[in-house]
Chain A
């Protein structure tokens, strides 16, 4: 079936961003009429590769050939004209405009020099009918749900005579039955001779609809295989950079640093559900332990953390804190009960770059430091000096602007911000992301010390070692569901990866 002249061949693609390599000799080859999965962890280079293909970025080196000709698109517009249409993760259409317009913008049908609305409406209807979508195309796009909007995107791509349609996480905001419809459409596209690049983290979907898969890691294309020839576990191992044979041989590993988890359960979350991202998540954290929350990108880890912190409200499920059922309506309620949350995006949601270390550190505790609105500066300095010393924050002084600190020290300030509130539970979302090796070990040791002192820690991490070596228990999320709860004795790379891939844990691991 598969022809030997590829529709698209990208080879040896290099790309650096201010000296940091994002792609190193990456490659991608797509055959005509195939649905090709592109997978990889965060930062593996998938989106950079796609953006180079579609002209959003320029490559530093390498070659791209499309339909047998060497090409280099300079803009998304040029790529679109050349036959490559992209459907982005966030639906990139214009909500206020009608369905028809969203399909025909940039390619208007005219009569006597004026727009021919009736013709465009007719064609839009016909296009959508091909995908079994029957809607009033004159309505503004926002009147319809995400799945329909996605179909409109696809219809637009098809109407632009695309040969290759790139779908960047198209299912991330779809409900299960909508995913089915989308899969049907993708199969139909393939049947009509289109090629599709399918970027997703949901393994089941890849296996349901894709012919081949290319795995990226650290800016390289590390494997390309037929879906039929690669198991889910192999796929996950490849994404995470593990040699499956070695992992299997080593089996369970012993880890240093025993936890002192008490029997006091701090928080229990059961059956959490919100939107389409979190379907049935349960976990618990005991005082004095580090509970790891593992899962592939898009499995709903951060969303679960936000639910526990009260930043979002669950559609269903219960949360019990310190033995009492709670429903945090907003973060401040959770904070009042002793929950702290260091978010994943330190730069955007954490630090205030132009404020000093002192100001950043005491931002959350200010209300408690103020007496009739005036801040007790002596207490403030005391707290700051105390934590700078205790956490070993490397700074020229409390008045140094936090943006001048290294990533690891910024993270310490953020930890201190929560610690000075005397929390019982600390939620850490990717606590060591973007921090250099030395800083990383520092932070990890600090987290362990905090747990040893009785704090409950819920740690989200994409790094397998971090979760495995750092946690006393590991919960594995897969597609919005808790699929495994692994006690320390059962935690191993193989067990975690198996749960991520198949929703099953090995040997001692309990299956949720």
Chain B
């Protein structure tokens, strides 16, 4: 019965997602057109990467507020390194993100600083570092070195960023469901004291998820630079909240212990679609919905999911 409920919850996002796609397809021409689909996937791949890292962090019961500014900082570093080629640019951006993640991880696991505070510090530090490195300006990337391929290129007619996101989600899902690491993540989030008493490597698990989240934010930064042709130190504002929202809409409990990689992807796509549909709606010219509406709609989705979650948590507590 409870698994059915869990299934319904994860599938619930998928159902809403499909309904939204159906709505768009019926209402707008070109909604299901190749251009819209591919550019939608290309753009949202960045958010998908960040949300994947966030998903693991939240499943341990933690939070990572630094992802947005880490992505911005990494985009600057990737842009600086981009003349040396795709791989150096990619590695530099990813490494920058990983560095922030490791720093967060050290603060949280070694110095026992609350994740909220530690990653808030990480957020401010990464943001400042990005602005400092870029002197408050966008840093153009090299178009000759092939760096932009990773954001703008296609393989088999499908955007490379989307391929990357799919690969990351497959690995993430595998790790969550078929590796001890994934189960330990859920155990730590489901009861840290119990996990410790069970002899699980709690600190190592926590360290790993924050490092991973930083790495994902770094990869998103590389995407940002490659897709838009510039390292952008002022981007990334609010991305952390958007990715937390995606994760939660995907049914992952904010308190940790329950979560799904696949449903997180659904959450990203669902919240991304709200924006996409608003664009189409405005394009029709019948009504002019300001961009603010997307925040309101996203907020509404988030609230509904959180209400459902808190009821579930209540039931668990009653049974415990």
Contact = CB atoms under 8 A, between A and B. Distances in A.
Nearest to A136: B3
A359 B38 CA distance: 64
By DSSP majority rule, is chain B's interface helix, strand, loop, or mixed? helix
A159 to B, nearest CB: 12
Nearest to A143: B2
Q: Which of A86, A95, A114, A139 gathers the greatest number of chain B CB atoms within 10 Å?
A: A95
Contacts of A110: 180
Interface in B178-200: 178-180, 183-184, 186-187, 190-191, 193-200
A438 interface: no
A110 B178 CA distance: 9
Q: How large is the interface on A (under 10, 10 to 19, 20 to 34, 35 or more residues)?
A: 20 to 34
Contact of A93 (B1, B6, B178, B191): B191
Interface string A106-125: 10101000110000000000
B196 A95 contact: no
A80 interface: yes
A108 B178 CA distance: 10
A145 B318 CA distance: 10
A88 B197 contact: yes
B183 A108 contact: yes
B257 interface: yes
Given A115-B179, A140-B2, A94 B197 contact: no
A316 interface: no
Nearest to A108: B180
Given A105-B183, A105-B187, A108-B183, A96 B195 contact: no
A92 B197 contact: yes
A170 to B, nearest CB: 15
A122 B186 CA distance: 22
B197 A76 contact: yes
Contacts of B180: 108, 110, 115
Contact of B195 (A94, A108, A114): A94
A97 B180 CA distance: 13
B216 to A, nearest CB: 22
Contacts of B177: 115
A352 B198 CA distance: 35
29 contacts: A76-B196, A80-B198, A80-B199, A86-B197, A88-B197, A93-B194, A93-B198, A94-B195, A94-B257, A95-B316, A96-B253, A96-B257, A96-B258, A97-B183, A97-B186, A97-B187, A97-B257, A101-B186, A105-B198, A105-B200, A106-B198, A106-B200, A108-B180, A108-B183, A114-B174, A139-B2, A140-B6, A143-B1, A143-B2
Interface of A: 75-78, 80-81, 86, 88, 91-97, 101, 105-106, 108, 110, 114-115, 138-140, 142-143, 145, 156
- Which 4 pairs between the two chains have the least Cβ-Cβ distance? A77-B199, A94-B190, A114-B178, A92-B194
